[in-house]
Amino acid sequence: MTKKTATIAIHNGLNEDKQYGCVVPPIYLSSTYNFLAFNQPREHDYSRRGNPSRDMVQNALAELEGGVGAVVTSSGMSAIHLICTTFFKTG
C-alpha cells in the first residue's frame, strides 16, 4: 500500500530524537557545536554547514519526492549558485 503525500509529511522525522526520545523533533537553534575531543568533531560543527533540523528537513523532502537525498540552501541565490557550480563547466 502506497502512502499518500500528507501521511509521509506528517510522520517523517517523528521519534528520531535518540538523545531525549522526543516524539516531535526540536528545532536546533545552536550556531556552533563542541568537539568530542581534540581533532574529533561531531557530525555537526557549525550551523552554516548543517544542523540536525536541516537534516530532518532534507530527509523529509527526499522521502516526499521519492529520492535518495535532498539539499536545502539558505536562499534562492544559494540554490542557483549550487546548480551552476555543479552542472556548468568553466570557460
Kindly report, residue by residue over 3-20, the tens digit of the pLDDT: 788 888 777 776 677 777
Pick from 42, 87, 89, 50: nearest CA to 71: 50
**Which pLDDT score is estimated for 68?**
93
Residues 52-73 pLDDT 10s: 888 888 988 998 898 999 999 8
**Which pLDDT score is estimated for 45?**
75
CA distance 3 to 27: 26
Please state the domain extents for the chain.
5-25+44-87
Pick from 59, 29, 60: nearest CA to 44: 29
**What's the start-to-end Cα distance of the chain, in Å?**
49
- DSSP-assigned beta bridge partners for residue 37: 40
CA distance 47 to 30: 7
Pick from 26, 27, 7, 12: nearest CA to 63: 12
